[in-house]
Each structure stands twice: as structure tokens, then as C-alpha cells.
């Protein structure tokens, strides 16, 4: 009798857990985590969302969207998405093939190891006896069950040729320490676009889930949102403190006293994190936005937009920050800036494009002719013989104009400080135009902006425009 009751209890538990991923997480929590759980509302919300997506895969129905979850560290995101989710998927679809990737091999392997611990546990075996791992394919990075379901752990840049999956889970694709590295950002974004996106069993059905804390304007979250249609991608953004970026709007009432998780992420803990991480680090990892709440170095809300410029100027300059890659890489940017009689600085025009060398020089010449002979033109001269030659080519191309090569000193951040001071001091005006959005967006995210060409050109223009003139005979 007791054995029958025991079997009945196992079957009941199996039914409950199969029907609810959240119940599965609660039931199997202590298999891998000895600490008592804190069941904040966001855990169930994420579990339910993941189950909604999985149900369509189980039925082989076309996916409605892929998913991005942005959430602070220490909120159980990896346990839910990378450890528990694959183990639960097999209870409903034993043949499911899963790719789970992270920024390093060590992190990816650790998450895989924990997922395998659950599947190998006595509790899981008793509850789901039909799920058994194959003895010949059961390593930390790759294990297969007897129904040919598989979980592959990989790091950014990996995934063996020929392996395709129904579920693609990307958990923290960037190391916070490498978030400002252009090379690491590009590598992670390219991997998601060019490698991971091709490793699907059925591209119409397979789903991709990205879970991470925000680290940069063009981190994998920012890059994916930028290149996707809104209807193809669902974005769950869960900052530690309620803000305008919180989405979807349905979750706003769940915040208590403006906090995502008042126990694990209390006001006291968040204040300590602000001190430890600094303004930008906290904004990214806990606010889930690469812009601090008070604004970045440039308080762009203080730039006054005008419909028309003044009629008279003390001076005007156009400064060019050049690049030579067509349809990719860095931008060439030329900022036309003026100083009026009241010492207000005006952003009059921004030309920007990913042009090849020929197109770039043609656009620079066209801008010079439009600006007129009273505008001084500067072109940044990069270090080395190549930079000198490039600057000389532009000067030759603009014979008859007031054009100069500029060899700036100091890093980009230092050179931008004087211009930022004028912006923050309400001394900058801007002509209303189509280029305003991209320009303001770059200033807003500085120095974490994905591109820096418009700020570099603006800094150069400002420093030339406002540089004190030496009087004759002055030392």
C-alpha cells in the first residue's frame, strides 16, 4: 500500500511540475541550492513567460517572438533560465535539443553542471523515470538523454558545426569587466547574429532567449533591439528601481516602494552597490540602462533646440572626425558649430556617414562649399604616416578654403570635458533637424556610447571655436 501511495505521489508531483514550470522551480530548488529561496514576484513572472514560449515549441507552432530579459545580478536569473529551464523542458519534450551559452567557458560549464545535477538527482529520477542520461554522452559541456534530447554548453564564439537546437539560451554573453571593449562587444554581437541564429532545428519554431544585465548601449541587448522589428521581439526590462524604462507596463504595479525585490535588493543594498560600482556601473547593471538616471556626462536636456540660427557670428568652424569604412565600422562625422555675440554655442549641422574614402572626400568638399568661405575647417590628423597622408589629401581637396589639420592631445574623454561643461551650463543651442536624434543619443550615452564620432567632432569644433586668440606680441 505504501509503495502504491509513493508511486501515486510521484505521478502527482510529475503532473504538477510538467504543467507549471514555476512549480518545478519551487519543487527542485533545494536539489542544487541549500539556501532558503526568496520567492519574489519576478521569479513566477519569468517562469510563466518562459513556459508560454516553450508551449509553442512543444506543439511545433511558429514562434510569436524571441525574448530578452534584462535584470540585475543576484536575482536568480541564471538558476531559472540556464539551470532549471532545460531540465523542465525535457519533462515535456524529451527530444528537445538545447544550446546554452555564456561569456566564458567556466560560467557556461558551471550552469551546465548544475542542470545535470538536477537531472541526475534521485528526486528527478523518481518523478520523471523516463528521462535518463546516456552513459556514453554525459559530460559537463554536453549531455544527451535516451530520447536523443541534448543540452550543449558553449561560450560566446562557440557552437560546433552541425549542432542545431529547439531552444537557444544566452545567459550573460559579456563579462562586465569587458563591457567597454569594442572587440568583445563586436564578438558577442556577431556571434549572436551570424553563428547562433543559424543553429536552429526549425527557424520558424525555435526560440532564442537572451538574459543579461545591461552593460553598454550596443551590448547584445541594444544591438538586437536596434536591428529587430518590435513585433518579433519581446523585451522584459526589470530595473532594480522603478523607472521609465521598466517594461512591459503590466509589471509596474508589482514593484513595492519602487523596488523590484525589497528583500534581496533593498534600498540599503542598492546604495552600497552605487558606491561600489559608480554612477555608470550602477546605471547599467542595476538600472538596466547605460545612462545614469541624472544623465551622463552631457546633460542633453539642457541643449535648447531652435528653429533658426542668429544672423551674425563671432566665429564658425566645421570639424571632421574621419573614418574610411563603407557601410560598416566607424562613421565619419563633420560638425558645424558657431559662436554668437552672446557667447552661446550653436550646433548648426552634423554630417555623418559610413563612406569609403572617395565618398568621404566628396561629402567633405560639398559641406565646405555649402558652409561658405568664412567657416574655418579642421580635419583630425590621426597618429602615424597614414593619418598625416589622409589629412593632407583632404587639405589638397579643399584648396581655396580655410582648412587646417589638427593633431589633438589627450584622450577623448578629456577633450570632451570643455564642451560638456558648456552643455551642462545651458550655453548650447541646436538647430532643429533630422540629425538631432542620433546626435543627442550619442551625447546622452557618452562615454559608453557605441559610436563616438559625433562627440569627437563636436569636441574638436568646440575647442577650436572657443580657443583664446593670441594677440600680436603676446607670449
**What is the domain partition of the chain in residue ranges?**
2-285, 300-466
Burial call 424-461: b when 16+ CB within 10 Å, e when fewer: beebbbbbeeebeeebbbbbbbbebbbbbbbbbbbbbb
Q: Indicate whether 4 pLDDT > 60.
A: no
Instruction: For residues 153-164, give the mean pLDDT.
Output: 84
pLDDT of residue 7: 59
Q: CA 92, 21, 56 angle in degrees (round to 5)? A: 55
Q: Indicate whether 99 pLDDT > 50.
A: yes
pLDDT of residue 325: 64
Please state the separation of Cα 316 from the chain's center in Å: 37
CATH code reported for the domain at 2-285: 3.40.50.300
pLDDT of residue 475: 30
Distance separating alpha carbons of residues 457 and 126, to the nearest angstrom? 66
Tell me if domain 2-285 and domain 300-466 are identical in fold. Answer: no
Distance separating alpha carbons of residues 317 and 335, to the nearest angstrom? 8
- Looking up cell 563579462, which residue turns up? 175
Instruction: For residues 425-430, give the mean pLDDT.
Output: 95
Distance separating alpha carbons of residues 327 and 213, to the nearest angstrom? 29
Instruction: Report the length, in residues, of the chain.
Output: 475
With 0-12 / 13-18 / 19 or more C-beta atoms within 10 angstroms meaning exposed / middle / buried, residue 197 is middle
Q: For all residues of the chain together, what is the average pLDDT?
A: 89
pLDDT of residue 42: 97
Write down the pTM of the prediction: 0.72
Q: Which residues contact 186 (CB under 8 A, 6 or more apart)?
A: none
Share of the chain above pLDDT 90, in %: 66
Q: Indicate whether 192 pLDDT > 50.
A: yes
Strand (E) or helix (H) holding 351? strand 345-353
Q: Indicate whether 156 pLDDT > 50.
A: yes
| pLDDT tens sequence across 289-326 | 877 655 568 888 899 999 999 999 999 999 999 986 66
The conformational region for residue 345 under phi > 0 = left, psi -120 to 50 = alpha, else beta, is beta
DSSP string, 85-97: HHHHHHHH-TT-E
In this structure, CATH architecture of domain 300-466: 2-Layer Sandwich (3.30)
| pLDDT tens sequence across 429-470 | 999 999 998 898 889 888 777 788 999 999 999 999 998 654
Residue 7, φ and ψ in degrees, nearest 5: -65, -40
Please state the separation of Cα 453 from the chain's center in Å: 19
Amino acid at each position: 500500500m505504501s509503495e502504491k501511495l509513493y508511486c501515486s505521489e510521484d505521478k502527482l508531483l510529475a503532473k504538477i511540475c510538467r504543467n507549471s514550470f514555476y512549480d518545478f522551480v519551487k519543487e527542485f530548488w533545494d536539489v542544487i541550492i541549500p539556501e532558503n529561496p526568496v520567492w519574489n514576484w519576478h521569479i513566477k513572472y519569468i517562469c510563466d513567460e518562459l513556459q508560454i514560449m516553450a508551449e509553442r515549441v512543444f506543439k511545433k507552432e511558429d514562434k510569436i517572438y524571441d525574448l530578452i530579459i534584462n535584470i540585475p545580478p543576484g536575482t536568480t536569473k541564471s538558476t531559472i533560465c540556464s539551470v532549471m529551464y532545460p531540465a523542465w523542458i525535457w519533462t515535456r519534450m524529451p527530444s528537445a535539443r538545447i544550446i546554452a551559452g555564456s561569456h566564458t567557458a567556466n560560467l557556461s560549464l558551471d550552469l551546465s553542471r548544475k542542470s545535470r545535477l538536477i537531472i541526475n538527482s534521485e528526486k528527478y529520477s523518481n518523478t520523471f523515470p523516463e528521462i535518463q542520461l546516456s552513459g556514453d554522452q554525459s559530460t559537463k559541456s554536453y549531455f544527451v538523454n535516451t530520447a536523443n534530447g541534448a543540452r550543449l554548453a558553449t561560450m560566446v564564439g562557440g557552437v560546433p558545426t552541425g549542432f542545431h537546437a529547439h531552444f537557444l539560451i544566452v545567459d550573460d554573453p559579456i563579462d562586465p569587466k569587458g563591457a567597454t571593449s569594442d572587440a568583445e562587444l563586436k564578438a558577442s554581437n556577431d556571434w549572436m547574429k551570424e553563428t547562433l541564429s543559424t543553429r536552429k532545428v526549425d527557424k520558424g519554431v525555435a526560440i532564442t532567449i537572451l538574459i543579461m544585465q545591461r552593460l553598454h548601449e550596443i551590448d547584445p541587448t541594444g544591438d538586437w533591439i536596434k536591428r529587430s522589428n518590435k513585433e518579433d521581439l519581446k523585451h522584459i526590462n526589470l530595473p532594480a528601481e522603478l523607472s521609465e524604462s521598466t517594461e512591459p507596463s503590466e509589471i509596474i504595479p508589482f514593484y513595492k516602494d519602487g523596488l523590484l525585490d525589497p528583500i534581496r535588493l533593498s534600498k540599503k543594498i542598492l546604495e552600497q552597490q552605487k558606491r561600489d560600482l559608480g554612477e555608470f556601473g550602477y546605471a547599467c547593471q542595476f538600472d538596466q540602462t547605460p545612462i545614469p538616471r541624472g544623465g551622463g556626462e552631457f546633460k542633453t536636456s539642457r541643449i535648447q533646440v531652435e528653429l533658426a540660427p542668429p544672423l551674425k557670428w563671432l566665429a564658425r568652424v566645421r570639424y571632421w572626425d574621419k573614418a574610411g569604412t563603407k557601410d560598416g565600422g566607424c562613421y565619419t562625422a563633420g560638425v558645424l558649430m558657431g559662436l554668437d555675440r552672446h557667447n552661446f554655442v550653436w550646433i548648426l549641422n552634423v554630417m555623418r556617414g559610413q563612406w569609403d574614402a572617395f565618398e568621404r572626400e566628396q561629402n567633405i568638399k560639398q559641406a565646405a562649399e555649402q558652409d561658405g568661405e568664412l567657416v574655418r575647417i579642421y580635419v583630425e590628423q590621426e597618429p602615424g604616416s597614414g593619418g598625416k597622408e589622409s589629412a593632407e589629401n583632404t587639405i589638397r581637396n579643399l584648396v581655396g578654403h580655410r582648412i587646417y589639420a589638427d593633431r589633438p592631445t589627450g584622450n577623448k574623454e578629456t577633450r570632451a570635458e570643455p564642451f560638456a561643461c558648456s552643455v551642462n551650463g545651458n550655453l548650447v543651442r541646436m538647430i532643429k533637424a533630422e540629425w538631432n536624434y542620433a546626435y543627442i543619443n550619442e551625447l546622452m550615452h557618452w562615454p559608453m556610447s557605441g559610436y563616438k564620432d559625433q562627440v569627437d567632432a563636436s569636441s574638436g569644433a568646440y575647442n577650436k571655436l572657443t580657443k583664446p586668440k593670441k594677440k600680436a606680441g603676446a607670449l
